[in-house]
Amino acid sequence: MHQIFSLSEQLTDEDVVQLTALLLFHLVEKCGGHVEFTPDDANKTALGLSTKMVHMQVGKQITLRIVTRPPELQEIPDET
């Protein structure tokens, strides 16, 4: 399941991966070149991905938003 939903039909999965890496670099650079987070922070974020996703809109500017997944895209946790 993709964690990033792109509204631009012209983008391939490779384009989205490359843009994501560039945006991450840009955001870290904007934060003074240093961002820290703990494994616990990463785990909490990963757990939220079952109901949230990054929405990417690409045009003259690239816009990222965190949105609630529609029910048909939400992952159902295993109950085993």
Model confidence over 47-78: pLDDT tens digits?
888 888 888 888 888 888 888 888 877 766 55
**Residue 43: per-residue pLDDT:** 92
Mean pLDDT computed over every residue of the chain: 81
Which one has a higher pLDDT value, 18 or 6?
18
**What is the DSSP code (8-state) at residue 37?**
-
**Residue 78: per-residue pLDDT:** 54
Pairing of strands 62-68, 4-6: unpaired
pTM for the whole structure: 0.58
**Residue 10: per-residue pLDDT:** 77
